[in-house]
């Protein structure tokens, strides 16, 4: 897998009713990773339980001078979760929605280098997801999502 691989895990399913993150959340999170890494070329691999929504709704707008390729990983097989987990583990950085599947892929990552993992606070609604990247929020504003830097073992 490309060493400049970003896993974008979009869980919708039951979270559509409970408050799934918006397309803007995913776009901003990918741009945050691009800004932190300084990559000029990367691939975002999108994994989801609602690939149709991802293809029609997600729009990534990388910074000028960054070549971002987006691959939608759509495995139509009864063993899809096993294959998806293995592919997600091969990514270097992670943008996650609420849920455990993507998180486990980030924990089990095979990357030998530091990983950035971004995911929303589970107790926040979508509006909060839209605002997290603002660097000028007042002290009373919601805190940013968790950004964890995993050190390789």
Per-residue tokens: 96? 């996650």
> Between 1 and 31, where is the model more confident?
31
Query: What's residue 41's pLDDT?
Result: 97
Mean pLDDT of the region 67-94: 89
- Rounded to the nearest 10°, the torsion over CA 74, 6, 43, 113 is -130
Q: Which domains does the chain show, CATH number per domain?
A: 5-150 (3.40.50)
- Taking residues 121-129, report their average pLDDT: 45
Residue 18: partners with Cβ closer than 8 Å, 6 or more residues away: none
Q: Give residue 44's Cα distance to chain centre.
A: 9
**75 pLDDT exceeds 60?**
yes
Arithmetic mean of pLDDT, 47-75: 94
Can you give the pTM of this predicted structure? 0.78
User: Regarding beta strands 93-96 and 67-72, do their DSSP bridges make them parallel or antiparallel, or are they unpaired?
Assistant: unpaired
Give the pLDDT band of residue 18 (cuts 50, 70, 90).
low
Confidence of residue 11 (pLDDT cuts 50, 70, 90): confident
Alpha carbons 53 and 129: distance in angstroms, whole number: 18
Q: Binning pLDDT at 50, 70 and 90, where does residue 81 land?
A: confident
- Residue 110's pLDDT band (cuts 50, 70, 90): confident
Q: Is the pLDDT of residue 126 over 60?
A: no
Question: 3-state SS string over the chain?
Answer: CCCCEEEEEECCCCHHHHCCCCHHHHHHHHHHHHHHHCCCEEEEEEEECCHHHHHHHCCCCCCCCCEEEEEECCCCCCCHHHHHHHHHHCCCEEEECCCHHHHHHHHCCCCCCCEEEEECCCCCCHHHHHHCCCCCCCCCCCCCCEEEEECCC
Q: Which residue has the tokens 């729009």?
A: 59
Name the percent of the chain lying above pLDDT 70.
72
- Asked whether the predicted pLDDT for residue 143 surpasses 70, the reply is no
């Amino acid at each position: 897998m490309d060493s400049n691989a970003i896993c974008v895990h979009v869980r919708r399913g039951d979270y559509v009713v409970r408050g799934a993150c918006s397309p803007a959340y995913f776009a901003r999170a990918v741009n945050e990773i691009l800004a932190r890494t300084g990559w000029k070329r990367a691939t975002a691999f999108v994994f989801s339980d609602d690939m149709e929504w991802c293809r029609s709704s997600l729009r990534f707008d990388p910074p000028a001078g960054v070549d971002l390729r987006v691959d939608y990983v759509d495995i139509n097989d009864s063993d899809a979760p096993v294959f998806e987990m293995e592919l997600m583990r091969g990514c270097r950085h992670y943008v996650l929605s609420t849920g455990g599947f993507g998180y486990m892929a980030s924990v089990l990552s095979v990357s030998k280098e530091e990983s950035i993992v971004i995911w929303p606070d589970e107790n926040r609604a979508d509006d909060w997801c839209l605002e997290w990247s603002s660097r000028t929020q007042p002290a009373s504003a919601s805190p940013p999502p968790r950004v964890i830097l995993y050190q390789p073992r």
